[in-house]
């Protein structure tokens, strides 16, 4: 990667904190978060697959959102957990490039899936009678494919951006994973073009999906305000609260990181803010949709009841 001065074969992370005494508690904390992420997202995928009442457009998109949460959490968390237990937090050039690519793919895919789900909520509220017709199986599939394709374009863009960086001096990344922004800060080469590419990518891929969400919710709010009954307004708004919560968590922290100027001097929040959208958000999404969603709760009860019924019948 970069020019011929890249003679070393690895980067070194500083990690989240420098104090060794805090490594084990943090390891246990993030291990618990990662395990909850795995169980919650796999459980949600399983529930949506086995319960026919959840075979609707919204849960079709939620199924893939849970899959993406699994993927991009796994890109970051296992390496971060291993680094808590080792003094030398190293990663190869190739490993760093793979991490940049995969994270770039999944984080943007997540953003566009959330944008797709915002449009889905708008159609459900504004045109309930035509909802299943408008959100046809074919359209759903193409929206998901489109989200992944845009994510792949972003991943390729960030990886190519990395290839043109030159690391002739320090190889120590003041971060806990290979993200393009701290890598640009670390590079000894003129990174003006790289920063322009990063800003353009964040604007094109990040803000564009955010604008779709914003426009969808403007129309959703307009539709809700035209509903005469208070109960109808409350019911319509409740269908959006889980999605809106997930959107605020992801975009709030991601925009804080990617739309600020790159700097050689890292601040503590520069490393802790990404923790929310790389590790915490993938755990919160399935919990938000499960705990605040009556249909998911009912599906869990049906699975629980049918399991006990099967056990009782198998004893005879």
Q: Which helix (H) or strand (E) holds 1?
A: none
What is the pLDDT at residue 144? 96
What is the pLDDT at residue 310? 44
- Running along the chain, 316 residues long, what does each successive block of 10 average in pLDDT? 56 78 84 94 90 86 93 92 88 91 92 91 88 92 95 91 78 86 80 81 81 87 81 72 75 64 56 80 83 70 59 47
What is the pLDDT at residue 138? 94
| Domains of the chain in sequence order | 10-288 (1.20.1070.10)
What is the pLDDT at residue 312? 46
What is the pLDDT at residue 28? 92
What is the pLDDT at residue 263? 53
Percentages (nearest 5) of helix, strand, coil residues in the chain: 75, 5, 20
β-bridge mates for residue 172, sequence order: 12
Q: Judging by beta carbons within 10 Å of its beta carbon (0-12, 13-18, 19+), is residue 311 exposed, middle or buried?
A: exposed
183 by DSSP, 3-state: which? helix
What span, in angstroms and rounded, lies between the C-alpha atoms of 88 and 210? 38
Tokens of 7: 């003679």
């Amino acid at each position: 990667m970069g020019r011929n001065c890249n003679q070393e074969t690895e980067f070194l992370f500083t990690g989240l904190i420098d104090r060794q005494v805090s490594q084990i508690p943090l390891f246990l904390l993030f291990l618990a978060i990662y395990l909850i992420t795995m169980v919650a997202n796999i459980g949600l995928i399983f529930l949506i697959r086995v319960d026919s009442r959840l075979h609707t457009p919204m849960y079709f998109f939620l199924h893939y959102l849970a899959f993406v949460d699994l993927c991009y959490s796994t890109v970051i968390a296992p390496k971060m957990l291993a680094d808590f237990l080792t003094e030398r937090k190293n990663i190869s050039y190739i490993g760093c490039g793979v991490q940049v690519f995969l994270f770039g793919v999944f984080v943007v895919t997540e953003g566009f899936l959330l944008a797709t789900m915002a449009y889905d909520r708008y159609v459900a509220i504004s045109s309930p009678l035509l909802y299943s017709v408008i959100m046809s199986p074919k359209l759903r599939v193409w929206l998901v494919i489109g989200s992944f394709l845009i994510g792949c374009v972003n991943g390729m863009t960030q990886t190519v951006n990395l290839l043109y960086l030159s690391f002739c001096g320090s190889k120590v990344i003041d971060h806990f994973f290979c993200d393009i922004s701290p890598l640009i800060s670390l590079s000894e080469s003129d990174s003006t073009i790289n920063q322009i590419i990063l800003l353009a990518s964040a604007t094109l891929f990040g803000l564009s999906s955010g604008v779709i969400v914003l426009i969808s919710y403007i129309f959703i709010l307009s539709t809700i305000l035209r509903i005469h009954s208070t109960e109808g307004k409350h019911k319509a708004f409740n269908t959006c609260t889980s999605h809106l919560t997930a959107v605020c968590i992801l975009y709030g922290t991601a925009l804080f990181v990617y739309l600020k100027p790159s700097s050689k001097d890292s601040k503590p929040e520069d490393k802790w803010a990404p923790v929310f959208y790389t590790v915490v958000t993938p755990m919160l999404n399935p919990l938000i949709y499960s705990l605040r969603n009556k249909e998911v709760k009912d599906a869990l009860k049906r699975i629980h009841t049918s399991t006990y019924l099967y056990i009782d019948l198998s004893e005879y």
